[in-house]
Amino acid sequence: MEAAIVREKLDQAPAILAEHGIDVWLTLVRETLLTRDPSLDLVAGTYCAWQSAFLVSRSGERVAIVGRHDATSVEDLDAYDEVVPYDESIRPGLRGTIERLAPESIALNYSTSDPAADGLTHGLWLVLREALEGTPYVDRVASSAPVVNSLRGRKSASELARIRAAVDETEAILALVGAELRPGLEETEIAALFDAEVSRRGLGYAWEPSHCPAVNAGPDKDIGHSAPSELTTQRGQLLHCDFGVEKDGYCSDLQRVWYLLDDGESEPPLDIRTAWEAVWAAVDSGAAALRPGALGHEVDAAARARLVSAGFPEPKYALGHQLGRSAHDGGTILGPRWDRYGSSPLGTVEEGNVFTLEYGAPVPGRGYVGLEEDVLVTSDGIEWLSTPQRDLWLVG
């Protein structure tokens, strides 16, 4: 199955290289138990002990140069025209292959902005420069960020099926946990309900298990990446969870909110409803702007302006990030042009991208209204992959 996805991604690659004017894309890795270039999953997905090079050309040629003990795994992918095994040094095979392909431009996996396109370590960058020393190719390198953004971002059919399956599992778990909620539960107890289902279903976590799910009961929690604590659910307060699973290598990422009705209440109070509607209005503004050709920061700006004009604090984070093999899948983000995002908000939305849409607002004395949905960019807009939580979930 993994080999099938690698072949799908490699089949996508030549057209994307042509679009971005790149002749050869080179992924160079080593000891992938210690450092793992995220692009390795696109071009091979196997473990590599020794220095290993995976080259894909604009004309469709695919060559892997790998240590002898790693060669069988790569051959088994049935994805490479040529697998060149070596014993002592990768240099002759690597240099010879590049000289034969004679590219005008070689894309390497480095980027100041996009972590998904920044898997080449600085040490391997130096190794490569030395291997190509004295050839014209040492000066023909460029960042692979545009290539990786398109290749990783345009989900193939199998990838989409896996993301959908991960979202479905997540929604099923959220429903089961929701049925158990009552006042007086500790955040850690609620996290344990999630954990039991993840384990029973044989799933992985979409991010660090200590913070997945994030469980935030009431107003006294510092929202962000802090772990479930001893805070408890209370009547008249909100419970907010941020949760995602990894299933067959692909992730989901959803936020859901419950309100614990106070004595005599049959619906949430006005302060919570106002925040809920403002957050949804902002997310819907972003969703309406999300289509192929839009720039990341434009989509965020539509949502951001709406929330701020409703009198809520400006979120300190982006409206959305891509989702795939990783919960934070890199490439174009739907975010403001802040330095920490580099050029990622300047990227263009493409058909086949999967994004989260997430925004939130604190409600003083109540807790945090935080929404997060997963959507697919279609030819003219979006498809919701998750079932949007249009109403607060009530705990009686």
Please give the residue ranges that form the binding site for its own copies (CB under 8 A). 30-31, 33-38, 46-47, 49-51, 67-73, 76, 86-91, 108, 110-127, 130, 143, 207-208, 211, 222, 224-227, 316-317, 326-330, 338-340
Q: By C-beta, is 38 or 146 nearer to its own copies?
A: 38
Q: How far is it, in rounded angstroms, from Cα 364 to Cα 37?
A: 43
Distance in Å, CB of 46 to its own copies, minimum:
8
Q: By C-beta, is 285 or 326 nearer to its own copies?
A: 326
Q: How far is it, in rounded angstroms, from Cα 285 to Cα 309?
A: 12
Q: Report residue 71 as tokens.
A: 């060669």
Between the two ends of the chain, the Cα-to-Cα distance in Å is 45
Distance in Å, CB of 27 to its own copies, minimum:
13
Distance in Å, CB of 26 to its own copies, minimum:
13
Q: By C-beta, is 208 or 262 nearer to its own copies?
A: 208
Amino acid, single-letter form, for residue 282? A
Q: By C-beta, is 69 or 182 nearer to its own copies?
A: 69
Output phi, psi for 201, to 5 deg.
-90, 0
Distance in Å, CB of 277 to its own copies, minimum:
25
Q: How far is it, in rounded angstroms, from Cα 100 to Cα 115?
A: 31
Q: By C-beta, is 213 or 268 nearer to its own copies?
A: 213
SS3 285: helix
Distance in Å, CB of 265 to its own copies, minimum:
32
Distance in Å, CB of 79 to its own copies, minimum:
16
- Cβ atoms of 14 and 56 closer than 8 Å: yes
- Cβ atoms of 142 and 105 closer than 8 Å: yes
Q: By C-beta, is 70 or 395 nearer to its own copies?
A: 70
Distance in Å, CB of 223 to its own copies, minimum:
8
Which residues, in sequence order, are CB contacts of 63 under 8 Å at separation 6+?
54, 55, 80, 81, 82, 83, 84, 97, 101
Instruction: Please give the biggest Cα pair distance in the chain.
Output: 80
Q: How far is it, in rounded angstroms, from Cα 229 to Cα 246?
A: 24
Q: By C-beta, is 119 or 236 nearer to its own copies?
A: 119
Q: By C-beta, is 232 or 343 nearer to its own copies?
A: 343
Q: What angle, 0 to 180 degrees and rounded to 10, lies between the N-to-C axes of helices 187-200 and 157-180?
A: 130
Q: How far is it, in rounded angstroms, from Cα 339 to Cα 322?
A: 19
Q: By C-beta, is 181 or 251 nearer to its own copies?
A: 251
Distance in Å, CB of 72 to its own copies, minimum:
4
Q: Are strands 204-205 and 245-247 parallel, antiparallel or unpaired?
A: antiparallel
- Cβ atoms of 117 and 26 closer than 8 Å: no
Going by the DSSP 8-state scheme, the letter that residue 353 receives in this structure is -
Distance in Å, CB of 59 to its own copies, minimum:
27
Going by the DSSP 8-state scheme, the letter that residue 295 receives in this structure is B
